[in-house]
Structure 1
């Protein structure tokens, strides 16, 4: 690992196209005094406040607080060139003297490109661009925690934004923050891939035999991923799940709306998963009904909150506050495999609370230990 860290007066944030104003609004809170600079669709730059030199750990906290940032790095600006030789010359002239452990080359605009395809093709494109020869000791691809990473964000055929970051969290090791795993052919929906990225991004740890419910389960991709982790899973949805998922041992479907499930049947789940195509407020109401049910054993939540319009992202902090009212500590990120939505992983760290935010009675806490597993219910 290279301990030397270059500097730079700017930060660059890459995000989903359309989220630039959300990034700017949240950056004003995360790093007061920063000034918005140049931007393009899917990219925003910021000048650091005078005298501020954030550490990599500081920048990790800033990135996490932005929520919709795909990646963030210390930026040296943009380079342009007329030919291949000019590209490397411009790169060397702009870069400080530093030895990088890894090189990441990725496009500004993904358009219809799958995240995994971008990551898989990166070594070939980086080699063709001369980066393998220029940095022979660097890894072209997924970095290791602690690596000093050179970021080259392609903004067309003749220009790159360049900078660096220190890899640490899983998503900072992936080129452009893009999940490197493709969707396997035997999975029933992309929900499998989104949950897979959430599990890796947040370091979610399951225990075999735990009970989970998914609200809005059909066609069953997320249930399939949970089952592969050794969980007992109940999918709650009026629509049938895919027969492939229905046939997996440990799976049961309750064919009803989540709000119609009796409260007594909701208390046996350790994990609550939700990815429903409804308003975030309605999703939170459905989750709250499970985690505040009398005797609830819920210790973890993995929720997808859809954002119908980017202006609704102003409610992010209030949505996350709801998890805290339930006694959970939330972390949120817009996944590279998802759409205009935010994934929240929340673990219980406080006392159980009722739907109105009040603390549960001591008798209810004792009941958690005696709660029965989720009742298996036939399709109806």
Structure 2
């Protein structure tokens, strides 16, 4: 048995006192921690322990956990522990919950991202190790400390969630947050989704998450347009939801999509098609491998046409590297020139080095 190394209650990862400093733990994509650090530092947060995909920080005043485009989850930190013995770590977790109003509603257990999304086929979210750990923690906590029947359930708004983040299998951080936004209700901010069939590409998951996060009311028999549709991952999600879909991409579609009775493919660039092709479409999804300025130009020309009546757009903006995040405010100003009702921006859990603009028209 490895010796446990548990930090003192008054270190930077311990819980915030009602009249004292605030301690938080934040998760993000592997590689995005730099932009998260710089963003929260501007608001007076002092950095503490961090690893790729995970950041902790302290503020001298009483503050709610920060939010931002690249922050996937945010919790008030309760502490951390290191040990080769899982039960010793659970003992430390139980000790850290003494300051809470118990029982909490949910238990979410998940690892930090161990690699950039998509590299070596890595996808974020709970894995085999964290799932096994979650079951053991849930068993040890019991109904006196946590109400949920199983760990990693989707929370409801205003419910309290006990977070356990696995930095590695023998190093855990503990936190608490209240469910507000939809991503804050998901374990680790990653949407649990069960495809009806094997997805054609990972774009399926990006589309599923962006649709859910945006709150757009996509309904069966609505018409949606996807620009950059090949080979058909996102189209697969739209068709699964019962929509009619127009796919626009010079490249070929997977036969499972191309042959679907509710799908039409235009093997062209969107800018080369007459706008009447999109007549009656309510929703526009754009995820093409072109520069963001060109993407915005294409979308603007589509939505400003008298032939179209889009109600909402989900636009993937490729960054290339996280330093280009400085361009996001400029892109948002361009979108605001379209006079939308609302614009929201998020680095989705399934996004690589890119962000999603949800534009309500």
Q: TM-score normalised by the shorter chain: which range applies?
A: 0.7 to 0.9
Aligned partners of 1:25, 1:236: CA distance in 2, in Å? 38
The alignment of Structure 1 onto Structure 2 pairs a total of residues equal to 331
Equivalent residue number for residue 53 of structure 1: 63
Task: Please state if 1:138 is matched with 2:147.
Answer: yes
Work out which of the residue numbers 107, 110, 118 in structure 1 matches 2:111. 107
Task: Please state if 1:23 is matched with 2:31.
Answer: no
Q: What pairs up with 1:252-331 in 2 under 5 angstroms?
A: 252-328=264-340, 329-331=342-344
Task: Please state if 1:338 is matched with 2:340.
Answer: no
8 A Cα contact 1:143 1:167, kept in partner: no
Aligned partners of 2:84, 2:278: CA distance in 1, in Å? 63
8 A Cα contact 1:119 1:178, kept in partner: no
Q: Which moved more, 1:224-233 or 1:16-25?
A: 224-233
For structure 2, the residue ranges without an aligned partner over 5 or more in a row are 1-15, 116-120
8 A Cα contact 1:132 1:138, kept in partner: no
For normalisation by structure 2, the TM-score amounts to 0.83
Aligned partners of 2:349, 2:24: CA distance in 1, in Å? 20
In structure 2, relative to structure 1, the CA distance for the partners of 1:6 and 1:192 (3 Å cut) is farther
In structure 2, relative to structure 1, the CA distance for the partners of 1:187 and 1:20 (3 Å cut) is closer
Equivalent residue number for residue 74 of structure 1: 76
Aligned partners of 2:76, 2:63: CA distance in 1, in Å? 10
Aligned residue for 1:285, secondary structure, equals helix
Aligned residue for 2:38, secondary structure, equals helix
Structure number with higher helix proportion: 1
Work out which of the residue numbers 94, 97, 102 in structure 2 matches 1:95. 97
Aligned residue for 1:200, secondary structure, equals helix
8 A Cα contact 1:9 1:76, kept in partner: no
1:265 positional shift: 3.7
Equivalent residue number for residue 88 of structure 2: 86
For normalisation by structure 1, the TM-score amounts to 0.79
The alignment's C-alpha RMSD in Å is 2.5
In structure 2, relative to structure 1, the CA distance for the partners of 1:182 and 1:114 (3 Å cut) is farther
Q: Which moved more, 1:268-277 or 1:93-102?
A: 93-102
Aligned partners of 1:296, 1:286: CA distance in 2, in Å? 13
Q: What pairs up with 1:107-186 in 2 under 5 angstroms?
A: 107-111=111-115, 113-115=122-124, 118=126, 122-128=130-136, 130-136=137-143, 137-139=146-148, 140-145=151-156, 146-186=158-198
In structure 2, relative to structure 1, the CA distance for the partners of 1:210 and 1:131 (3 Å cut) is closer
CA offsets 1:243-296 (integer angstroms, 9 cap, x no match): 211222222111111121124444543211111122222221221121122343
